[in-house]
Amino acid sequence: MNKAITLEIPSQVEYLSLVRAVVASAASLDQSLGDQRIDDLRLAVSEATTNAIRAHARLDSNERITIRFGIDGDRIEVEVQDRGPGFDPETLDPAGPLTDTGRLEYEGGFGIPLMKILADEITIESADEGTTVNLVVYVSPPSEKSNN
């Protein structure tokens, strides 16, 4: 990751606005990235960070959450790393597509599907010692999204 910025925050929701501001400011350094793409990235990173904060809360952990931001050629990459209990992304209970009106009956569960829509690429690596979410947004979006 070139031109990297690393931000470590306490696992408290009060720091979400700081994360959003840093991501938006750093992404705007690439002047070819439009405002809508910056907003998409900011929201995707906010969702990943919120999930990390919740993971730490389940353990009553005071560990810090690490957010790494980098611009590498035609791509912006953001990594959100927690030290929570981990999970298997393949076993998530599908609550239906985000556009399904039945989703209004569910509380939560929107984060990962939303990140998959907002980012051009997403990878999730999770183990007992934590989870890393890697989000990629291309300056010029690829013709086909490759969401993992």
Residue 79 to residues 31, 71, 97, Cα–Cα distance (Å): 21, 12, 25
107, burial (CB in 10 Å: exposed 0-12, middle 13-18, buried 19+): exposed
Please state, in angstroms and rounded to a whole number, the distance separating the CA atoms of residues 34 and 21: 16
Phi then psi dihedrals of residue 62, to 5 deg: -100, 10
pLDDT tens by residue, the chain, 148 residues: 666 899 999 999 999 999 999 999 999 988 888 899 999 999 999 999 999 999 999 888 889 999 999 998 889 999 999 998 887 776 665 555 656 666 555 555 678 888 999 999 999 999 988 999 999 999 875 554 444 5
CATH superfamily for domain 5-138: Histidine kinase-like ATPase, C-terminal domain (3.30.565.10)
How is the chain split into domains, by residue range?
Answer: 5-138
Residue tagged 């009106």 (tokens): 101
